[in-house]
C-alpha cells in the first residue's frame, strides 16, 4: 500500500487564523512542526537520515515521508524555502567538504532513481513504463551516483534528465551504496534501475542559491 505524507508549514497570518490553528500561537505552531518532523524522521533508520538537521533553517518548509514498497519509492525529504543566504552558504561550505559527488540540474546525464516516474503515475500509483532501455544499461552510469527524481518538489519541473527540479540546483551526494541494507522493507529488484543498482540507498542535499532553497534527502529502493 502506498503511504505518502507531505506536511507543510507556512508561517503567515493566513495560517495563524485558519480554522485548524485558530487557538494556537506561533510558538505552539513552531513546536508542533518540529515535533512532527522529528517523529517522522525517527521512523527511518538513523544511518539514512543522520545528515538531516535537528531544527529548521527557515520559517517556510515542508517534509515528505514516502513508504511505497510496491513502487520502491521509500524515503524522507525536508524542503526549506526562503533560507537566509548567509545560512545557506555556511551549510553549502560544510557539505562540500563531505560530499562524495556534486552534480547540477543542468547536467545532461544524471543517474536518477525511478527516473521513469511522471506526474500521472506518481499521482495515481500506476507502475511506469520503461521509455528508453539505455537508462537500465549498467554501462550508462559508470562513475555516477544515484540521486532522487524530486517529483515531490512543490513545483516539479519536467526536464530531459528526469530530475524534476528547476535549473540552478547543486546536488551533493553524501553517501550512496548498492544492495538491500534495510531489511524492514520487503524489496524486490527495481526494474527501473540498471544491473548493480537494483537495490540501494542514497542520501544527500540539494541547494539553490537562486531559489534560496535547501532539500535534504534519504532514499531507499
- pLDDT higher than threshold 60 for residue 26: no
Report d(CA 176, CA 101) in Å as an integer: 10
Report d(CA 62, CA 17) in Å as an integer: 19
- Mean pLDDT for 208-215 is 97
DSSP H helices in the chain: 13-16, 26-42, 46-49, 85-98, 119-124
Least confident span in 22-31, 94-103, 137-146: 22-31
pLDDT band at 12 (very low <50, low <70, confident <90, very high): very low
Range of the domain at 73: 4-220
Torsion sign (Cα): 3, 105, 177, 39? negative
* Burial class of 37 by CB neighbour count within 10 A (0 to 12, 13 to 18, 19+): buried
Report d(CA 188, CA 23) in Å as an integer: 47
> What's the pTM value of the predicted model, to 2 decimals?
0.88
pLDDT digits (tens, 9 = 90+) for 148-167: 999 999 999 999 999 999 99
Give the largest Cα separation in the chain, rounded: 58
In contact, 35 and 41? CB cutoff 8 Å: no
- pLDDT higher than threshold 50 for residue 52: yes
Number of domains in the chain: 1
Amino acid at each position: 500500500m502506498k503511504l505518502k505524507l507531505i506536511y507543510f508549514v507556512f508561517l503567515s497570518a493566513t495560517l495563524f487564523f485558519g480554522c485548524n490553528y485558530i487557538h494556537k500561537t506561533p510558538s505552539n505552531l513552531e513546536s508542533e512542526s518540529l515535533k512532527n518532523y522529528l517523529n517522522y524522521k525517527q521512523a527511518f533508520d538513523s544511518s539514512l537520515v543522520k545528515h538531516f538537521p535537528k531544527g529548521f533553517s527557515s520559517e517556510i518548509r515542508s517534509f515528505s515521508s514516502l513508504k511505497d514498497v510496491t513502487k520502491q519509492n521509500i524515503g524522507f525529504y525536508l524542503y526549506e524555502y526562503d533560507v537566509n543566504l548567509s545560512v545557506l552558504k555556511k551549510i553549502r561550505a560544510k557539505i562540500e567538504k563531505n560530499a562524495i559527488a556534486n552534480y547540477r540540474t543542468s547536467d545532461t546525464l544524471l543517474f536518477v532513481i525511478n527516473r521513469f516516474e511522471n506526474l500521472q503515475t506518481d499521482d495515481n500509483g500506476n507502475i511506469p513504463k520503461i521509455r528508453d532501455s539505455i537508462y537500465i544499461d549498467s554501462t550508462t552510469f559508470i562513475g555516477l551516483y544515484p540521486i532522487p527524481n524530486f517529483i515531490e518538489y512543490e513545483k516539479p519541473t519536467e526536464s530531459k534528465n528526469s530530475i524534476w527540479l528547476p535549473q540552478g540546483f547543486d546536488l551533493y551526494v553524501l553517501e550512496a551504496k548498492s544492495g538491500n541494507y534495510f531489511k524492514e522493507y520487503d524489496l524486490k529488484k527495481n526494474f527501473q534501475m540498471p544491473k548493480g543498482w537494483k537495490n540501494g540507498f542514497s542520501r544527500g542535499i540539494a541547494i539553490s542559491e537562486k531559489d534560496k532553497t535547501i532539500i535534504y534527502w534519504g532514499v531507499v529502493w
